[in-house]
Structures are given as structure tokens and as C-alpha cells.
């Protein structure tokens, strides 16, 4: 953040953002469950211009063996951006940013996944960002929950992701790339709507305590909307033949 | 166990039982950080330095300053990079070799707190636009680990940068040349201070020790600035927070942070 200098108008006089959205509106989200043949569970998510493919393998044997835990299964997450996913080619080796995001997404999913059911095993979640446009960690987290559910892994809740933030002095929902670069704050949220628990939360940028409260509130509202789309994706896959829910 | 620390089940039960009675293992209040002492100027060869001791956790931060070629998209601003590493002398679990994910996170959270607060007015650190800018590198070395490295690194970095002296440079023949024995004051705009809280069961405690760190369910690090605004935040650990808890945590962070800011100011 840090408010880089730019000529882009992030919010016009009618309260409309640079991509035509209102302040409290998310981008268009579409999710499809079960898109990969080999993975135990998978999902493809489009979150605005973000395009992310998630594959889940497991529960399966842990390699290397010393990582296995006799009391519980372990969750391993890899968030990775394709070299062609951004404007300037990204080095395909995992960056420090990707290592950190993998860790926060893992910790966002852990409260939802009932890992104690599978001691000595691992569940691997691979998130491949094919195109990035701001808010990839929330989109990847959203897709990962659907892929885990698609794999039939017992879960307490789905985790839905959506960011809130601040641009042009206004609190906004679902920060896109332009707003992330030129805006004032970005607050990604991961939320379990049934359990009402926030499992992913980061912030960069300056917020007053009042704006911070508003951001969390509006962010949770965004997550609730994303949650409905996640459930629909699972219903579409498992009840496609017209069965009743 | 988080960060590879192993604590026996007995200790976990003991800590939880005490919390239920409103007590912590070391007798502190829930919102009471450990004693913080900061000495600045401990490394005279560095342009700025600080040793922060938070209880038995110790971090040495050193600031090195040198002219740099700016990144193409930020040619009108100086450069600021914070890093952190856990030295193998700090704890038996610390390893040499490529950094583990939790060390990468420590370095990035430390960097984010300083950077996003806008602590330094980077526009004042340009020698020649798009050609040469002043680069400020603040490297944190954890020398003793008794939990809550996030805050110890935050305090050491803020104190080191706050007390640094920037050598004066002049452009001669398109090259930056250092003027001996001339310095400028760092363009400080605010003092960021992070406060980390651990959630253990339903309890939230400030500045967890290594024992509390090992058994906590989740943690949150909230950085505030001199104007009592929230500037950076990182949630970690395998549980979540409710909306009410998060708002309470921000209030605690701002309150505790303002006292710590005074200690950092006095250390200059």
C-alpha cells in the first residue's frame, strides 16, 4: 500500500469504483467443483479476473515420514502463482510471499477440517493461481474449501474468503488489483459463516479503529455472499441429476 | 505443536487451569506485557541499532544504509527492507539452512509493520529520481527465544530506525558520493508498535511466553501507529477469532502499544 501515486480515479462522485462496482459489492464469483480427474477433490474458481485451480489429495500416507503425527492428520497447503499469471513474468520458484500465504491459508483451513479423524495421514491442498488480479489469497482459500469438501473430507464448516479495505477514503468490499496498488488499506478475511469465526486475517495499510470495525463487518458480509456460491457449487456437482438436497 | 515447540501435556493443563482462575504462569495480568528494555547504539558500525529484551526474548536489530538503484515503479521513493532470522544460538529448535515458513512469516510481518505504518517519509530519501535513492536495511537477529518474536523484532526495528543517523550523499557525475562525517536525521513520521496476543481456550493474553506460545490455539499481531490507528495485522495459529474478540484485540493493542511507544521514544 502506502498510497502509490496514480491518476486512476478509484471512486467517482457517484460512489462508483474504477471497475463499475459499488463500495459494498463483490466481483462476480463463479465456482465449479470436481474439475480434475486425478485429484480426490478439486475446484475451479473465478473471482473477478482471478482464475485459480485447486486440487486436493488425501488423506494419504505422509512423505517424508517424520512429518506424520500419530495423534492427528496434517494439512499441507501450497499456494503457487503461474509465471504467466501477472503482468511481468513471475519467477516460478516459490517466493517468500507465496510461502507466507501458504502458511496463512493452511492456518485458515485447519479449524474447519476434522484432521483428528485421520491420524498419521496428510491432506495436501495445491492452489495454482493461473491469473491474478488482487485478492488471490481469499479466492484461493474459497476454492480450497470447496475442493476439500469435494474430496469428501469431514469438515466443520466451509471457509469463505473476501477482502475489505480502504480506497479514496472509503471503506470498500473485495479489493481488486488497482485498488490494492493505489488504495490505502487491504484487509483479507477468511470466515466460517456457520461457526462465526474468522480464521484468516491480515492487514496492510492505515485504518482508524472505527474503519477497522467497519472493514471487518463489511468483510464478513462479503464472506457470507461467497459462502452461498460455495454451497451452490457443491450442490450443482452432487445434486446435478435433479435429486433433492 | 506450533513452530515445532514441544510442551508436555501437564504444562498445558496447568496453564489452562491457571487462566481459568485469572492467573498466568509468570504472574502477569492478561493484558500485561513482560518487562521491555531497549538499548540503542549497541553496534557502533551500524548506522542505527538496538537491543530489545522482552522478558527473556532478546533481539538485536542493526540498520545499514547505502545508496541503491530504485525499483522501476518506485523511483521517487527511498528503499526500506526489514528482515529477521532466528540464530541457532537462540533456541534448540532453531535450525541453520534455508528459512522455515515461520521464519519467513516473522520477517514479513516485521517488515509490514514498519512499511505500512509509513514510519519513514520515503520521498525524502531520493538522491536523484529514478537513478539513485537511499536504501535502509533493518536486519533483526533473534539471539534468545522465549516466545513472541514478532513484538521483540517490532520494538528492536522501530527503536533502531528511530535512532539511526543517515549519512549524507551527493550526486557527482551521476554517482552518489558519501560526504564524510555529515549526517541527516531520519524522516520519522510515526512510531509503529506491534502487540501480539495469544488465544488459549477462550482466554486472550498479551505477549505470550514460549510456554504459552507452544500451547496457544491462535494468535494475532496488531500494529498501531502514534495516532492510535491500526496499520498492520496478522492472524496465525489453528483456530479462529470472533468478530467481538478482534475488536477487543485492536483496543488492547492500541492501549498496550501506547505505553511501549514511550519506552521506544526514551531509548533514543
What is residue B112's predicted lDDT score, i.e. its pLDDT?
97
Domain, as residue range, for A127: 29-237
In a domain, A40, yes or no: yes
pLDDT at position B97: 86
Instruction: Using CA coordinates, name the residue in chain A closest to B222.
Output: A203
Indicate yes or no: CB of A96 within 8 angstroms of CB of B107.
yes
Query: How many helical (H) and strand (E) elements, i.e. helices and strands, does chain A have?
Result: 4, 9
- Contact call for residues A57 and A123 (beta carbons, < 8 A): yes
CATH number, position A227: 3.30.230.70
Q: Is residue A80 part of a domain?
A: yes
Report chain A's mean pLDDT, rounded to a whole number: 94
Cα separation, A89 vs A96, in Å, equals 16
B246, A196: Cβ pair inside 8 Å? no
Shortest CA distance from A186: residue in chain B: B232
pLDDT tens series, chain B, 268 aa: 444 456 667 888 899 999 999 999 999 999 999 999 999 999 999 999 999 999 999 999 999 999 999 998 899 999 999 999 999 899 988 888 899 999 999 999 999 999 999 999 999 999 999 999 999 999 999 999 999 999 999 999 999 999 999 999 999 999 999 999 999 999 999 999 999 999 999 999 999 999 999 999 999 999 999 999 999 999 999 999 999 999 999 999 999 999 999 999 999 8
| pLDDT value at A91 more than 60 | yes
- Model pLDDT, residue A1: 46
Instruction: Say yes or no for a CB contact (<8 Å) between A110 and B238.
Output: yes
ipTM: 0.85
CB pairs under 8 A between A and B: 107
Residue given cell 516460478 in the structure block: A92
In total, how many domains does chain A have? 1
Extended strands (E) in A34-155: 41-47, 50-61, 74-81, 121-131
Element of type H or E holding A105 = helix A96-109
Residue A99 included in any domain? yes
Domains and CATH numbers, chain B: 10-267 (3.30.230.70)
Mutate to test the interface with A, among B126, B240, B241, B252 (most CBs of A within 10 A): B240
CA distances from A12 to A16, A22, A48 (A): 5, 10, 20
Pick the closest to residue B238 from B218, B214, B213, B208 (CA basis): B218
Q: Name the pTM for this structure.
A: 0.90
User: What does the pLDDT read at residue B229?
Assistant: 97
pLDDT (mean) for A50-61: 96
Distance CA(A98)–CA(A85), nearest Å, equals 14
In a domain, A17, yes or no: no
The shortest CB-CB distance from B104 to any of A100, A107, A207 is to A100
Contacts of A202 in chain B (CB under 8 A): 233-235
Give residue B10's pLDDT: 81
Interface contact A196, partner B, CB < 8 A: yes
Of A99, A192, A201, the CB nearest to B104: A99
Amino acid at each position: 500500500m502506502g498510497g502509490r501515486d496514480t491518476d486512476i480515479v478509484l471512486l467517482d462522485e457517484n460512489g462508483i469504483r474504477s471497475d463499475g462496482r459499488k463500495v459494498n459489492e463483490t466481483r462476480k464469483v463463479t465456482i465449479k467443483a470436481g474439475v480434475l480427474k486425478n485429484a480426490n477433490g478439486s475446484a475451479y474458481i473465478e473471482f473477478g479476473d482471478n482464475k485459480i485451480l485447486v486440487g486436493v489429495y488425501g488423506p494419504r500416507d505422509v512423505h517424508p515420514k517424520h512429518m506424520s503425527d500419530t495423534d492427528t492428520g496434517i494439512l499441507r497447503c501450497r499456494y503457487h502463482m503461474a509465471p504467466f499469471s501477472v503482468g511481468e513474468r513471475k519467477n516460478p520458484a516459490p517466493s517468500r510471499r507465496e510461502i507466507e500465504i501458504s502458511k496463512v491459508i493452511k492456518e485458515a483451513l485447519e479449524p474447519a477440517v476434522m484432521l483428528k479423524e485421520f491420524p498419521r495421514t496428510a491432506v495436501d491442498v495445491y492452489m495454482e493461481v493461473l491469473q491474478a488480479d488482487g485478492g488471490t489469497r481469499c479466492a484461493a482459500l474459497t476454492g480450497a474449501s470447496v475442493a476439500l469438501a469435494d474430496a469428501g473430507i469431514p469438515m466443520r464448516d466451509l471457509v469463505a474468503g473476501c477482502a475489505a479495505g480502504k480506497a479514496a477514503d472509503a471503506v470498500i468490499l473485495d479489493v481488486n488489483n488497482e485498488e490494492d496498488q493505489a488504495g490505502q488499506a487491504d484487509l483479507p478475511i477468511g470466515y466460517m459463516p456457520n461457526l462465526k469465526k474468522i480464521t484468516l486475517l491480515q492487514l496492510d495499510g492505515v485504518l482508524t479503529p472505527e474503519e477497522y470495525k467497519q472493514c471487518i463487518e463489511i468483510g464478513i458480509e462479503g464472506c457470507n455472499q461467497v459462502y452461498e456460491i460455495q454451497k451452490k457449487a457443491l450442490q450443482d456437482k452432487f445434486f446435478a441429476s435433479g435429486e433433492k438436497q | 505443536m506450533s513452530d515445532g515447540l514441544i510442551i508436555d501435556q501437564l504444562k498445558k493443563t496447568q496453564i489452562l487451569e491457571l487462566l481459568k482462575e485469572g492467573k498466568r504462569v509468570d504472574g502477569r495480568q492478561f493484558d500485561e506485557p513482560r518487562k521491555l528494555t531497549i538499548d540503542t547504539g549497541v553496534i557502533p558500525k551500524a548506522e542505527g541499532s538496538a537491543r530489545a529484551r522482552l522478558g527473556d526474548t532478546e533481539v538485536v536489530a542493526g540498520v545499514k544504509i547505502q545508496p541503491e538503484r530504485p525499483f522501476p515503479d518506485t523511483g521517487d521513493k527511498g528503499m526500506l527492507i526489514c528482515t529477521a532470522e532466528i540464530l541457532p544460538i537462540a533456541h534448540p529448535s532453531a535450525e541453520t539452512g534455508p528459512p522455515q515458513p515461520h521464519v519467513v512469516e516473522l520477517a514479513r510481518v516485521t517488515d509490514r509493520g514498519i512499511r505500512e505504518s509509513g514510519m519513514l517519509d520515503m520521498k525524502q530519501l531520493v538522491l536523484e529520481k529514478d537513478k539513485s535513492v537511499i536504501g535502509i536495511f533493518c536486519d533483526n537477529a533473534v539471539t534468545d527465544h522465549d516466545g513472541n518474536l514478532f513484538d521483540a523484532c517490532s520494538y528492536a526495528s522501530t527503536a533502531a530506525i528511530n535512532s539511526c543517523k543517515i549519512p549524507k550523499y551527493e550526486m557527482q557525475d551521476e554517482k552518489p558520493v558519501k560526504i564524510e562525517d555529515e549526517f541527516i536525521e531520519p524522516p520519522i513520521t510515526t512510531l509503529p508498535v506491534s502487540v501480539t496476543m495469544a488465544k488459549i481456550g477462550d482466554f486472550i493474553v498479551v505477549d505470550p511466553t514460549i510456554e504459552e506460545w507452544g500451547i496457544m490455539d491462535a494468535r494475532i499481531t496488531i500494529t498501531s501507529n502514534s495516532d492510535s490507528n491500526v496499520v498492520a495485522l496478522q492472524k496465525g495459529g489453528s483456530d479462529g477469532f470472533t468478530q467481538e474478540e478482534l475488536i477487543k484485540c485492536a483496543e488492547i493493542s492500541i492501549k498496550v502499544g501506547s505505553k511501549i511507544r514511550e519506552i521506544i521514544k526514551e531509548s533514543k
